[in-house]
């Protein structure tokens, strides 16, 4: 049973390495880069325990609008 879980973990690690190889071979690698804007939005979404920063709030409002207006 423990060997099954070990094999599963090794398989997942190999899958991740294959995914990383595919990304590095891709000519559009810049699309996958975590930018400074992405980091700022992430920080804004978790600004304080019970409120969001201005950019995070705007982002959530746009997602709410999109969810309600998709047809």
Residues 48 and 68 in one domain: yes
pLDDT at position 28 is: 63
Residues 64 and 39 in one domain: yes
DSSP letters for the chain: -HHHHHHHHHHHHHHHHHHHHHHHH-TTGGGG---HHHHHHHHHHTSBTTB--HHHHHHHHHHHHHHHH--
pTM: 0.42
pLDDT at position 9 is: 53
In the predicted model, residues of the chain with pLDDT beneath 70 are 1-31, 49
Domains contained in the chain, number: 2
pLDDT at position 65 is: 92
Structural domain for 24, as ranges? 1-33
pLDDT at position 19 is: 60
């Amino acid at each position: 049973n423990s060997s099954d879980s070990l094999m599963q973990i090794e398989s997942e690690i190999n899958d991740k390495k294959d995914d990383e190889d595919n990304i590095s071979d891709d000519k559009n690698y810049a699309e996958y880069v975590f930018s400074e804007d992405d980091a700022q939005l992430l920080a804004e979404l978790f600004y304080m325990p019970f409120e969001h920063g201005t950019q995070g709030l705007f982002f959530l409002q746009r997602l709410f609008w999109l969810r309600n207006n998709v047809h």
